[in-house]
Structure 1
Amino acid sequence: MTALTGVILAGGQGRRMGGQDKGLVLLNGIPLYQHVLQRLRPQVDIVMISANRNLDRYQASGCTVIADTLPDYPGPLAGMLSGLLAAKTDWVVFCSCDTPSVPVDFVAQLWRQKETAPTVWARSTERDHPALALLHRSLAKPLADYLQRGERRLMQFLREQNGHAVMLSQSEAAFRNVNTPDDLEDSPL
């Protein structure tokens, strides 16, 4: 593998979490993003956090914190664009802050199976997980153009860039998102 930057996507509004900053919601006494950080950090060379509020709390992790370059919380693609623009490596892997059990080898699995694609994303037996994705930095310009047109659909963008899903071997529990207070109670951790 080449040098990789990892970006934790924590820039959303947290509507389903009652407006709370989802990355900072506690799961077993630890902020959600910290669970992801513990699993992502050993898989990459550099970790950044894409956040739009509580920047000082995220900076306390020692990671570089980047904000969306676009206003009004336009979704995960805006965080991905910021990550691609800030990265110094050619490849950037993304993981949402609400996936606390993300596989400890998902980056290696994406890398091994990317072939010549400029982007790949995780797929489990039940569905695609496009916020667990590996993108080449060259996709920053097409992504900026896509967002400029008002598009927000992550899977559509990844497919338009000739990307493909990578089947990961872990159980569905590894990909479970914590989106609501009820999800916190049902979390596998």
Structure 2
Amino acid sequence: MRQQCNQVTGVILAGGRSQRMGGEDKGLMMFRTQPLWQHVLQRLQPQVAQVVISANRHPQRYRQSGLTVIGDTLPDFPGPLAGMLATLRAIDTEWAAFSSCDTPFIPHDFVQRLWQEKHDAQAVWVRSAARDHPALALVHRDVADRLEDFLHRGERRLRLFLQQVGGRPVLFDDDERLFININTPQDLLLYQEEK
């Protein structure tokens, strides 16, 4: 996988409004003694050549990590697709592996597994036994123009876009807990002890 890793930039999506978190910057919420996004970083970083952060608020706090922070190029927080567009335009590698900042238990090999199953698709994403996880995706930067058009039409649905560019899900039969999203203050409390 090392050679493939050199072709992939990891992207932590932390640019949303976090409305269910009371408007707090979700990535910066403390979880098990460190900000939530850093849990994602620890799992994603060994799987890719480099990691960048998609963030629209508190960029200086994210930059303290030494990582590049990329803000949306579109106004008004139009969702994860806007973060994907901005990073696909900015990265040097052909591929980006995306993870939202609120999935602290992602598999240590999800990028490799998506890579092995992508074949000729320009986008693949994780499907667990319970549901699709389109924010856990491997996407080729060549889809950026189509993504920009999609967003300018007012579309915001991530899975729909990935499907429209010929993407497909990859089944992960892992423990469902690896794909937990921490969306609310109650979730933060609930999963403090989750392994």
Which TM-score bucket, shorter chain as reference?
over 0.9
In structure 2, how many angstroms separate the alpha carbons of the residues matched to 1:61 and 1:176?
24
Distance in 2 (CA, whole Å) between partners of 1:99 and 1:38 is 12
1:18 is matched with 22
SS in 1 for 2:183: coil
1:89 counterpart residue number: 93
Task: Measure the CA separation in 1 of the matches of 2:118 and 2:156.
Answer: 24
Shift of 1:13: 0.6
Q: Distance in 2 between matches of 1:61 and 1:43?
A: 18
Residue equivalent to 2:118: 114
Counterpart of 2:145 in structure 1: which amino acid? K
Deviations 1:59-83 (A, max 9, x none): 0111100000000000000000011
Structure 2 residue runs without a partner (length 5+): none
Out of 161, 177, 183, which is 2:187 matched to?
183
1:15-54 deviations in whole A, cap 9, x for unaligned? 0000000000010111000000000000000100000010
Matched with 1:99 is 103
Equivalent position amino acid for 2:185 in 1? P
Q: Identity over the aligned pairs, expressed in percent?
A: 57
1:151 corresponds in structure 2 to: 155
Matches of 1:184 and 1:49, distance apart in 2: 21
Give 3-state SS (helix, strand or coil) of 1:65's partner: strand
Which ranges of 4 or more aligned residues in structure 1 deviate by more than 4 Å? Answer: none
Counterpart amino acid of 2:75?
Answer: P
- Structure 1 residue ranges without an equivalent (≥5): none
| SS of the residue 1:117 aligns to | coil
The superposition leaves residues 72-95 of structure 1 with CA deviations (integer Å, 9 ceiling, x where unpaired) of 000000000011001100011100
Per-residue deviation at 1:170? 1.6
Correspondence 1:70 to 2:74: yes
AA aligned opposite 2:29: V
Instruction: Identify the residue that residue 56 of structure 2 maps to in structure 1.
Output: 52
Cα displacement (A) at 1:3: 1.7
Root mean square deviation of aligned Cα: 0.8
Alpha-carbon distance, 1:169 to partner: 3.0
Is residue 164 from structure 1 mapped to residue 139 from structure 2 by the alignment? Answer: no
Amino acid at match of 1:44: V
Counterparts of 2:87 and 2:43, CA distance in 1: 19
3-state SS of 1:47 partner: strand
> Aligned with 2:138: secondary structure?
strand
Across the two proteins, how many residue pairs are aligned to each other? 189
2:136 equivalent in structure 1: 132
Aligned to 1:29: 33
